[in-house]
Amino acid sequence: MCLAFSLFMPLLSLFLFSRDDRSAHEVSVDRSTMAEHILEDEEEGLEVTDEQKIGLATWFLLKSPPGEIQQVAKSIRGVLMDERLFDMAAKEAFPKYNMEQMIAIDLADHSGQVLLTKYGAIDVSQHLDPRTAQVAVIDHVKQVCTDVRPAADDELPSAFVEEHRASIDNELVKYVEEAFPKGNCAVYCTCGKDVESGGDEFELKAVISATKFSAQNFYSGSWRSVWKIQVNQELQTVEINGKINVIAHYFEEGNVQLETSSECSNSTLLQSPADTGVAVVNVIQYLESDYLGVLEESYSKVSDNSFKELRRKLPVTRTRFSWNNALQLSLSREITKELSLTR
């Protein structure tokens, strides 16, 4: 972007001349002549390569707030005015966005939903749903599932690992149903899927994803948590490390965004698969509730603390500013200050 910016700097000064339009204000500016003026200048535009255009469009798509990528795609298409370039940008951005945002997609046979995550991705378009042992074929740009097939044996963990995975998944589903009105979750085996009882370590990832979007109420939001669960059979321990990301966007006559994240960890003892599942999800539930408490506290401090660092509600004098005699007041204050200094 640095390069891009330096490229556009001379252009900026060129066009800034006409920025005085602002003082005359939008209403008084004749839109049609403005449009003509713009069109006349069309030939003078700076040349940007197709490669750069795709890069810029991809940037916008990846920065889409939760659930808003289709709307952003529509707008970037209107800006690009080139279907070929748009398709290339979309092909690059959508799979990345879908997996980063961990979006849920209805299975083609309507039997449920599959979460798109990098942990369940067999390749870009094939995504494993560990709960049903199915693989969903995904059209990323359309955000739909086009086909479902049963997972092959080598795509699934050993029976021993699966027992632990399924038990955690079971407990996680119960917790997500209670805490997330529109949540989805999955548990993947990300390391040591062929490990047997009494063998090496293995690693599971439990993910929770919840998205809300309402175009007519101008808001969207997402909660994503990824929990790395490391099972050490030798030490009989389970290490749990989590990262939670929360984004909220409110854009009615404005644009306001919340971005918050937390990293937390805890551990528990390895027990029977069923007991381990309960223990792990208890840890997750506890840490996530704790984080929500921190968020609540941060919000409660916004008004009186955080905001005050930028602008106070009332002046230091605790009365509205006296525009009439501000100068005299400040003058007399300075005199008293000087007097007190000399004293």
Partner 1 sequence: MQVGRLRMQAAEEGGRERERVKERETKRRDILFVRAGEHSEKHQRRIGVRVAMEAAMDLMRRMPPTQVDTALSSLLLLLPQYSSELLSRVDQPLQVAWDAECLKHYLLCDYNRDGDSYRSPWSCKYFPSLEDGAQPSDQLRKLEVEANEIFAIYRDQYYEGGISSVYLWEPEIGGGFAACFLIKKDGSEDGQGRRGLLQHGLWDAIHVLEVGEEDEGLAHYRLTSTVMLSFTTKDAPSVSFSLSGSITREMQADLSVAEGHLTNMGRMIEEMEGKLRNGLDQVYFGKTKEVVFTLREPLGSLTATSATGQSLQQVVMDDILRK
Binding to partner 1, residues 172-211 (CB under 8 A): 177-183, 210-211
Among 50, 51, 79, 84, binds partner 1 (CB under 8 A): 79
Phi/psi of residue 111, nearest 5 degrees? -85, -5
Q: Taking Cα atoms as reference points, which of 303, 324, 325 lies closest to residue 314?
A: 303
Q: Is residue 235 part of the contact set for partner 1 (CB under 8 A)?
A: no
Among 146, 236, 260, 272, binds partner 1 (CB under 8 A): 260
Q: Is residue 96 part of the contact set for partner 1 (CB under 8 A)?
A: no
Tell which positions 49-78 bind partner 1, by CB under 8 A: 52-53, 56-57, 59-60, 63-65, 68, 71-72, 74-78
Q: Is residue 134 part of the contact set for partner 1 (CB under 8 A)?
A: no
Q: Which is nearer to partner 1, 107 or 292 (CB)?
A: 292
Find out whether 134 and 156 touch, Cβ atoms under 8 Å: no
Q: Is residue 332 part of the contact set for partner 1 (CB under 8 A)?
A: no
In the numeric block, the tokens 């209107």 are attached to: 78
Q: Which helix (H) or strand (E) holds 97?
A: helix 83-100
| Cα–Cα dist 229/170, whole Å | 15
Kindly state the DSSP code that residue 304 receives in the 8-state scheme: I
CB-neighbour burial class of residue 50 (10 A; exposed 0-12, middle 13-18, buried 19+): exposed
Separation of first and last alpha carbons in the chain: 57
Q: Is 337 helix (H, G, I), strand (E, B) or coil?
A: helix
Structure token digits, residue 114: 């599959």
| In the complex, minimum distance from the CB of residue 138 to partner 1, in angstroms, rounded to a whole number | 24
In the numeric block, the tokens 């000399």 are attached to: 342
Among 313, 339, 342, 343, binds partner 1 (CB under 8 A): 313
**Binding region for partner 1 (CB under 8 A) out of 125-133, 196-204, 229-237, 323-331:** 323-331
Find out whether 89 and 61 touch, Cβ atoms under 8 Å: yes
| In the complex, minimum distance from the CB of residue 198 to partner 1, in angstroms, rounded to a whole number | 35
Q: Which is nearer to partner 1, 35 or 152 (CB)?
A: 35
- Angle (CA) 67-222-239 rounded to 5° is 135
Q: Is residue 11 part of the contact set for partner 1 (CB under 8 A)?
A: yes
Q: Is residue 215 part of the contact set for partner 1 (CB under 8 A)?
A: no
| In the complex, minimum distance from the CB of residue 187 to partner 1, in angstroms, rounded to a whole number | 18
Q: Which is nearer to partner 1, 135 or 280 (CB)?
A: 280
Nearest-10 Cα torsion for 302, 303, 305, 307: 80
| In the complex, minimum distance from the CB of residue 85 to partner 1, in angstroms, rounded to a whole number | 10
**Binding region for partner 1 (CB under 8 A) out of 103-111, 113-121, 136-144, 324-332:** 324-332
Tell which positions 275-304 bind partner 1, by CB under 8 A: 285, 288-289, 291-299, 301-303
Q: Is residue 258 part of the contact set for partner 1 (CB under 8 A)?
A: yes
Find out whether 266 and 283 touch, Cβ atoms under 8 Å: yes
| Cα–Cα dist 272/197, whole Å | 11
Among 111, 146, 236, 257, binds partner 1 (CB under 8 A): 257
In the numeric block, the tokens 């979750």 are attached to: 185
Q: Which is nearer to partner 1, 110 or 311 (CB)?
A: 311
Tell me which amino acid residue 87 is.
D
Q: Which is nearer to partner 1, 236 or 325 (CB)?
A: 325
Q: Is residue 316 part of the contact set for partner 1 (CB under 8 A)?
A: yes
